[in-house]
Chains A and B, each alone.
Chain A
Amino acid sequence: EAGVAQSPRYKIIEKRQSVAFWCNPISGHATLYWYQQILGQGPKLLIQFQNNGVVDDSQLPKDRFSAERLKGVDSTLKIQPAKLEDSAVYLCASSPRDRGSYNEQFFGPGTRLTVL
């Protein structure tokens, strides 16, 4: 079974530029998550989708970050404009259909973003 796919793996941009990340979850997984992981910290949830609907985006900086999952499968996360503090690894994870709290999440390889 193929894992979570993400691209690009690395991205370097200058502040105020825009960037987009793509994620394709494990086949059949209904729930998709985007996390931000800053060096030395645990992953922080940015947004959670159930199929193509947003479940939780309470920690997404909506003035600069946006995300969509139009057909309930793959997803894109965009930052516009980027700030220096956005330098981090952006992780996508997916989990099977909703089973309450007992839903294991599986991570993709991540995209390492450097903002100069």
Chain B
Amino acid sequence: QKEVEQNSGPLSVPEGAIASLNCTYSDRVSQSFFWYRQYSGKSPELIMSIYSNGDKEDGRFTAQLNKASQYVSLLIRDSQPSDSATYLCAAGGGGNKLTFGTGTQLKVEL
């Protein structure tokens, strides 16, 4: 059973701080990893993808991948109230299939 594990939260951070979201996956065959943001009542929106070990930066977002530890993380710098949402981690394996975690709820407080 392929699994993606996330802490459900809520993770509360003050405005302007760095939010750190973590994810572990069980299937060593997974080759691609994605972070989706989902606002309440809305559908998931792709914000980051990462395929190689190391860091990938896009604006205020940095995705980190460590395949040896089977660990993926998302850092959000200068967190804003508009970042308050549920963040879904997904792992991609063969056949373009994604396995999603249950999501971490992030709350950015003023």
Residues of A participating in the B interface, judged by any CB pair closer than 8 Å: 31, 40-45, 48, 55-56, 89, 91, 95, 98, 100-110
With A43-B44, A109-B43, A110-B43 as contacts: A103 and B92 at CB distance below 8 Å: yes
Check A98–B100 contact: CB distance below 8 A: no
**A104 contacts B46, CB within 8 Å?**
yes
Among B31, B34, B93, B97, contact of A48 (Cβ-Cβ < 8 Å): B97
A29 to nearest B CB, angstroms?
A: 11
Chain B residues proximal to chain A, CB less than 8 Å: 4, 8, 30-32, 34, 36, 42-46, 49, 51, 88, 90, 92-98, 100-103
Partner of A101, one of B31, B43, B45: B31
Q: Which residues does chain A contribute within 8 Å of B46, judged by CB atoms?
A: 104-107
Q: 5 interchain pairs (CB within 8 A)?
A: A43-B44, A43-B88, A55-B95, A91-B43, A108-B43
| In the complex, residue of chain B having the shortest beta-carbon distance to the beta carbon of A96 | B96
Give CA–CA (A91, B103) in the complex, Å. Answer: 16
B34 adjacent to A41 (CB under 8 Å):
no
Q: Hey, which chain A residues are within 8 Å of B103, CB to CB?
A: 42
By the criterion CB–CB under 8 Å, are B45 and A95 in contact?
Answer: no
With both beta carbons as reference points, the residue of chain A lying nearest to B36 in the complex is identified as A107
| Chain A neighbourhood of B36, CB < 8 A | 107
Residues of B within 8 Å of A91, CB to CB, are 43-44
Q: Are B100 and A44 in contact (CB under 8 A)?
A: yes
Whether the Cβ atoms of A104 and B34 lie closer than 8 Å is yes
Do A41 and B32 touch (CB < 8 A)? Answer: no
Roughly how many angstroms separate A110 CA and B39 CA in the complex, as a whole number? 13
Q: In the bound complex, what is the Cα–Cα distance between A102 and B31 (angstroms)?
A: 8
Closest to A42 in B: B100
- What residues of B have a CB within 8 angstroms of the CB of A106 in the complex? 46
Which chain A residues lie closer than 8 Å to B44 at the CB level? 43, 91, 107
CA distance A107 to B95 in the complex (A): 18
B65 CB to nearest A CB, Å: 13
Chain B: CB-nearest residue to A40? B102
Q: Identify the interface centre among A91, A104, A105: most chain B CB within 10 Å of its CB.
A: A105
